[in-house]
Amino acid sequence: MTPADQRILLDLVDLDRRILVAESTRKNPPQAARIAELTAQKQGQSQELSQRLGARDDVALELSRLESDVKVAAARRQRDQERVATASDPKQAVAFESEIAALTKRLSDLEDAQLVIMERLEEAETAVNEQKAVIDVTNEEGARLTAEARELISKMTSELDELARDRAAVVGRIPEALAKQYDRVGAGLLTRNTCGACNMVLNATDLQEVRATSVHEIANCPSCGAIMVRTEESGL
């Protein structure tokens, strides 16, 4: 294994690092955490919207029933007013007039209640619209982040394809045995007395063994077993 072959391993180390980063980014883009938060957030917001819709519908139903009561009371009063105009019996006329007065009072009370309920319905409708606006904001952010994540995933996929081609080309430049050994144990630059693969500091005895190892032979880290690539930076 020539020193030049061993140095090529550093290119593989760099490519594998970049591949690892790209693969991690593709599987878990930085937007993923926020998208998950928004998904959970929207679930709570949707539940809140359902409650507000239910409250609004209850008020609308109450108003509908009250409007029906108003129509019934108004129709009865109209009928009694017509009967008063044609009544020939004074007692009967008085009875109709008494009922008309009662119905007029009831209509006034119903209309007052109707106004109150209409105000409640308006407030309930406003609450629904406000919650819909909150959900729209969540949806917009979610859609934007999802689009960004998809674009990034596509970019990382293309980058991984390119890195795989580059790696294959680099592997083709070194002996097969060296490539297989690298795949098993990895490699790192030996910088002075530190293994670049595991960042462990070699003791004096280990360094002496490395110095005694021919540059045409593989020197493995005593801690992690990785191939220690020796260059001018190794300080041996």
Render pLDDT for 61-102 as a digit per residue (tens, 0 to 9).
Answer: 999 999 999 999 999 888 878 787 777 777 777 777 888 888
For residue range 161-194, what is the model confidence (pLDDT) as tens digits? Answer: 999 999 999 999 999 999 999 999 999 999 988 9
User: What pLDDT, on a 0 to 100 scale, did the predictor assign at position 87?
Assistant: 72
Give yes or no for residue 234 having a pLDDT over 90: no
Q: What three-state secondary structure class fits 47?
A: helix
Residue recorded with tokens 């391993």: 9
Q: How far apart are CA 111 and CA 109, in angstroms?
A: 5
Q: What is the DSSP string of 181-216?
A: HHHHH-EEEEETTEETTT-PBP-HHHHHHHHHS-TT
Give yes or no for residue 48 having a pLDDT over 90: yes
User: What pLDDT, on a 0 to 100 scale, did the predictor assign at position 189?
Assistant: 95
Rounded to the nearest integer, the mean pLDDT of the chain is 93
In this prediction, residues 190-214 reach a mean pLDDT of: 91
Give yes or no for residue 1 having a pLDDT over 80: no
pLDDT grade for 51, boundaries at 50, 70 and 90? very high
User: What pLDDT, on a 0 to 100 scale, did the predictor assign at position 47?
Assistant: 97
Q: How far apart are CA 20 and CA 113, in angstroms?
A: 69
pLDDT grade for 125, boundaries at 50, 70 and 90? very high
- The b-or-e profile of 34-43 (16+ CB within 10 A means b, else e) is ebeebeebbe
pLDDT grade for 6, boundaries at 50, 70 and 90? very high
In this prediction, residues 30-50 reach a mean pLDDT of: 97
If you ran DSSP here, which 8-state letter would residue 28 be given? S
Q: Is 19 within 8 Å of 167 (Cβ atoms)?
A: yes
Q: Is 210 within 8 Å of 228 (Cβ atoms)?
A: yes
Q: What is the pTM of this model?
A: 0.73
User: What pLDDT, on a 0 to 100 scale, did the predictor assign at position 110?
Assistant: 93
User: What pLDDT, on a 0 to 100 scale, did the predictor assign at position 56?
Assistant: 97
Residue recorded with tokens 């009662």: 102
Q: Could you give all domains of the chain from N- to C-terminal order, each with its CATH number?
A: 28-157 (1.10.287.1700), 186-234 (no CATH)
pLDDT grade for 139, boundaries at 50, 70 and 90? very high
Higher-confidence residue: 124 or 90? 124
Q: How far apart are CA 151 and CA 3, in angstroms?
A: 41
